[in-house]
């Protein structure tokens, strides 16, 4: 409208990445600097996805092995925070050998002191995608897209039903679903061949 913009009624947005009150642990996009040989090491990709269940937002944090496509860990919650990210990470570390590197975006759960310290204590390098570049962490993003297409519309189900659907889907994805990028093997078949 002639380049004019209303001054009132605009929603104020607080950027969690630039808050002066919180120390942020920002990392470079180290993954982009790896050689093709270095990228053959075990590397994980993690992020949250959200869905609406019973008119509430429900979050799942998942961690995917880039090489084998195994979903190595996950956690479900009504919150999107560091505690949930660490629950997913601990789930993965209890069941699988630790990775060389983990990829995240710059969301608040991943720039926190606790997440940074946990990776440091486990000797895991942290690579962060560039601001507003979801393609830098495309691996887990693609997984979430695939999951939502294959699970279909789930907003009509109860939270307990959705919990069970997620658990079944993650088992199905890892153990039963052939994956084209790994020669139509299941992710667990590919994992077992690599380890």
Helix or strand (DSSP H, E) at 2:
none
Please check whether residue 86 lies inside any domain of the structure: yes
How far the first Cα of the chain sits from its last, in Å, is 60
For the entire predicted model, the pTM comes to 0.87
Please check whether residue 77 lies inside any domain of the structure: yes
Please check whether residue 15 lies inside any domain of the structure: no
Q: What is the pLDDT of residues 137-153, one digit of tens each?
A: 999 999 999 999 999 98
Please check whether residue 59 lies inside any domain of the structure: yes
For residue 52, give its domain range.
26-34+42-194
Order the strands of the 43-53 sheet from edge to edge.
Answer: 71-77, 56-65, 43-53, 101-104, 125-128
**How many C-beta atoms surround the C-beta of residue 13 within 10 A?**
6
**How many C-beta atoms surround the C-beta of residue 46 within 10 A?**
25
Sign of CA dihedral 59, 42, 92, 90: negative
Give the residue among 112, 137, 138, 117 at the shortest CA–CA distance from 127: 137
When pLDDT is cut at 50, 70 and 90, the band that residue 134 belongs to is confident
Please check whether residue 5 lies inside any domain of the structure: no
Mean residue pLDDT across the chain: 90
Please check whether residue 74 lies inside any domain of the structure: yes
CA distance 125 to 128: 10
Q: How many residues does the chain have?
A: 195
Count up the domains in the chain and report the number. Answer: 1
Q: What is the pLDDT of residues 85-112, one digit of tens each?
A: 999 999 999 999 999 999 999 999 999 9
What CATH number corresponds to the domain at position 125? 3.30.420.10
């Amino acid at each position: 409208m002639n380049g004019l913009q209303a001054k009132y009624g605009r929603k104020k947005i607080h950027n969690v990445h630039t808050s002066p009150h919180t120390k942020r642990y920002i990392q470079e996009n180290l993954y982009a600097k790896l050689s093709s040989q270095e990228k053959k090491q075990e590397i994980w990709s993690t992020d949250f996805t959200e869905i609406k269940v019973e008119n509430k937002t429900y979050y799942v944090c998942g961690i995917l092995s880039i090489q084998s496509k195994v979903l190595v860990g996950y956690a479900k919650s009504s919150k999107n925070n560091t505690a949930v990210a660490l629950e997913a990470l601990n789930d993965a570390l209890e069941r699988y050998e630790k990775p060389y590197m983990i990829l995240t975006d710059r969301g608040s759960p991943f720039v926190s002191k606790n997440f940074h310290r946990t990776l440091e204590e486990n000797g895991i390098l942290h690579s962060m995608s560039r601001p507003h570049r979801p393609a830098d962490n495309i691996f887990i993003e693609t997984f979430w897209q695939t999951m939502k297409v294959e699970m279909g519309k789930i907003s009509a189900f109860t939270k307990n039903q959705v919990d069970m659907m997620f658990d079944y889907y993650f088992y199905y994805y890892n153990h039963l679903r052939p994956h084209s990028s790994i020669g139509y093997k299941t992710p667990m078949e590919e994992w077992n061949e690599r380890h």
